[in-house]
Amino acid sequence: MDDDEDWLSEQKYNIIYVEDDEQVRINFQEIFQDFFKEVYVASDGVEALEVFNKLTLENKRIDAIISDLNMPNMNGIALLKNIRAVNEDIPFYFTTAYSDENNLLEVIRLNVTAYFIKPIDISVMVKKVIKDAHKYNQNQIIEKQKDELERYLAAIDNVAIISKTDLKGNITFANDFFCDISKYKREELLGKPHNIVRHPDSSKEIFRNLWETIQKGETWNGKIKNLAKDGSIYYVNSTVIPIFDELGSEIVEYVGIRFLTTEEENSKREFRKKVIENMQQSKKKEIEYINQIRELQREIKSNTKPDLSMYLDQMDNMKRKNGQLKAQINQYDKEIIAIRKKNEELIDSANNKVSKSVFALRKIKSENDKLVKDFKELENEIELKKDVILDLQKRLEERNKRIEDLLDVISLRDKELKEQSK
């Protein structure tokens, strides 16, 4: 399947089709339904605007609008003006039976996407609409993901170390938490590379891998050991995200999100140490109790007049204490597992939130390379339209000049006829 067939197979976009001729509207609706997910129809500009507003209120996606130019109640140009008042980017197309030179300048000023002259080549039209709808949809996704990332950064501002850097790695933004943890003032951080807080023990290979990853447009995750200005050490679980331009083709900056793990590391080490010590003590006591039980059993066998009840009570007491120690050891094991699981869940949750916020941006990176080419084609199209406008203006001027010349000839001829009649 070639590229054109790939575009046509993407039956996932929604369009509004506006046509006042009922039979034409029915015929084109049937054709469009083979290529688009939803086809909403309207008979004039007023009805189309109502459909557009209703779908917008219902949060239903509209990817393109195709409209006849000349219609009753509200024509295509008036409809385009109303649409552009609320949405400057949605693809909008005109269909018309003739080339209207008088309206051409106006529709170009209103950023019409394309102009189809009837009879329409359906294949060309559908390919153009699907390609533009795809481009528009991807740009919407990029903007949405950027908004979600900004909201996420705002939500975690008080609990995460957040920074932004330029393409050379120099810090351009540092939140308050970054300043608090690193012990640096904001003005001391801005303009400096991140190695200002790098611990000398940190492996250079980690940072080499970090840069290779983010320069490819991918997100990097890892644990880093840092050094504050006062000499204190702190560990962070770090996520570094490349941020792209509006076209999604060029990286413009990097955002770093880091969650502090110093207290977590210390508490885990202390808890493990205490648990191991308690387990060792418990094991010693368990062995002592077992030896005491065995000694009592030997005494019972060797004693001719044993006080069995006393020995049995002692044995029961030993067994009970032994059971309590085993239960305590099991509880320690459960607490270790629970704390380990909780720490893993906290780290996974933080990383997952960041990953979800940028997943779509990474996913559409490869597609945006193709979209850049499409934008260049669009620029060429606009330049071509400008040439057409200039040509039309020249033709209009020539036509007006000819009309003026004819009027002069007619006026002169009238004078001659009047003089002859005298």
Return the residue matching tokens 């996913």. Answer: 363
For the chain, percent of residues with pLDDT exceeding 70: 75
Q: At the top level of CATH, which class does the domain 156-260 belong to?
A: alpha beta
| Structural contact between residues 340 and 293, judged by C-beta atoms closer than 8 angstroms | no
Compute the average pLDDT of residues 118-146.
87
Compute the average pLDDT of residues 107-115.
85
Same fold, 3-150 and 156-260: no
What CATH code would you report for 3-150?
3.40.50.2300
| Structural contact between residues 293 and 318, judged by C-beta atoms closer than 8 angstroms | yes
Per residue in 141-197, pLDDT (tens digit) is 888 877 777 777 776 777 789 999 999 999 999 999 899 999 999 999 999 998 999
* pLDDT at 103 exceeding the cut of 50: yes
pLDDT at 304: 46
Contacts for 247 with CB less than 8 Å, ≥ 6 apart: 368, 371, 372, 375
Return the residue matching tokens 């891998």. Answer: 209
Task: Round the average pLDDT of the chain to a whole number and report it.
Answer: 80
pLDDT at 86: 92
| Structural contact between residues 18 and 66, judged by C-beta atoms closer than 8 angstroms | yes
pTM of the model: 0.50
Contacts for 365 with CB less than 8 Å, ≥ 6 apart: 217, 244, 248
Cα–Cα distance, 264 to 161 (Å, whole number) = 16
Q: b/e string for 149-175 if b means 16 or more Cβ within 10 A? A: beebbeebeeebbbbbbeeeeebebbb
Compute the average pLDDT of residues 101-120.
81
* pLDDT at 357 exceeding the cut of 70: no
> What are the residue ranges spanned by the domains of the chain?
3-150, 156-260, 265-360, 375-422
Number of residues in the chain: 422
Kind of pairing, strands 38-42 and 14-18? parallel
Compute the average pLDDT of residues 118-137.
89
* pLDDT at 270 exceeding the cut of 90: no
pLDDT at 157: 72
Alpha helix (H) residue ranges in 15-70: 22-32, 45-57
